[in-house]
Structure 1
Amino acid sequence: MRGGSPIQRRKAEGVSVFIQGYQDRGPDNERKKIYMSATTPDLYAAKYGDKVRGFLNQLFDEANAGKPLMQQYYANYFDLYWDLHLGIRGEAVPAEVRQIGTSFTAVLGHWYPTEEVVHENIMRVRELRPILREWIDKRVQAVIDGDIADPERTFPTTGSRTAAEESTSGARTSSSSASTTSWRSASGATSSIAPRSIWR
């Protein structure tokens, strides 16, 4: 959407529920409920626990003793992030996507918008956002189509199915495609990993 205000464009493209006003989340905070339905304790234990434990075991490995802990954390966090959301990690994550994560971390670390390093990283993310959006759309579709290993161990599948099952609307759907689309809408899955307003 090229026309309209920045707010209108963000709504059309997809906005993370965590920066969305309550008035735009649907009745009874519906979009937040759809997203959070993927992170319930039972799903964590059955679907995600092994991934998170692997991340923590790697983080606190003896090989990291005496090293800055946050450096190790950020070196591996985005593998966990994309594994939970899209079921991929390692070399399957493009360099451009990893650069966005690095830039996001740099902005959080320096923060002050007058610093040149902050400006450089914000502009870098703006440059890479179209690549990120296209990549996420393809990867979410791969989850929908079951073209990845263990799609049931990702947020889009588990969260959207739970939301669909709990829906009190007349037309309950068991369709992975329909329910995952609901999760994609609720999470702003085609948006950047960072709040979109930061990068505008």
Structure 2
Amino acid sequence: MMVFVRNISERCPGTPTNNRAELIAIIRVFETTQVSRKPLLILTDSSYSIDCFEKWLPGWIRRGFRTSKGGDIKNLGLIQYLAALLKERGMAGQKIKLQHVRGHSGIPGNDGADALAVAGCTLPELPDRDWEALRLEVEERMLKMDMTDAKKVEVTVEEKKVMIVEEEDVDPSIYEDMILDDDELAEMGRTGDFDKY
């Protein structure tokens, strides 16, 4: 099994909260790793982040990024950008697994991440990022990817060839299908076959 570690220590942009910092850490993983077909495992001690991916995101998407009671979701722009990054990975055929690890329990990667987070808190304050502009950049990349991968059908019309590109509605369950379950992850570790999923 290959393990890639990227150590980044940054100040949380905008209004710093622990939940925002945890989500931004996952965003930075997506921003600093290559989009590929190989599964991506992200270890986190943040139950909030895992719940965002596995429990809440599909419902938020179905409801137009509203809570189950119709209210505003916290960190909306950030979450919409994160959803776009996740969808981009899914379009490329990459599965994502967020695995919970206990915080402050001697796990080297997690303890190192905590130390980097503490160091980041000492850096100068940063303005919030333009989450909408970032999301639009990802959507533009996906559009280009979709145009090259779109299903194409040739039709003859008055002796001229016309290319028709099929459009597909986005199914929110795409996010659920991209997340590896524990059995798939265990099988990958056992066999070393990271291309199967």
Scaled to the shorter chain, the TM-score interval is: under 0.3
Q: Give TM-score, length-normalised by structure 1.
A: 0.27
Which structure's CA Rg is the greater one? 2
Q: Give TM-score, length-normalised by structure 2.
A: 0.27
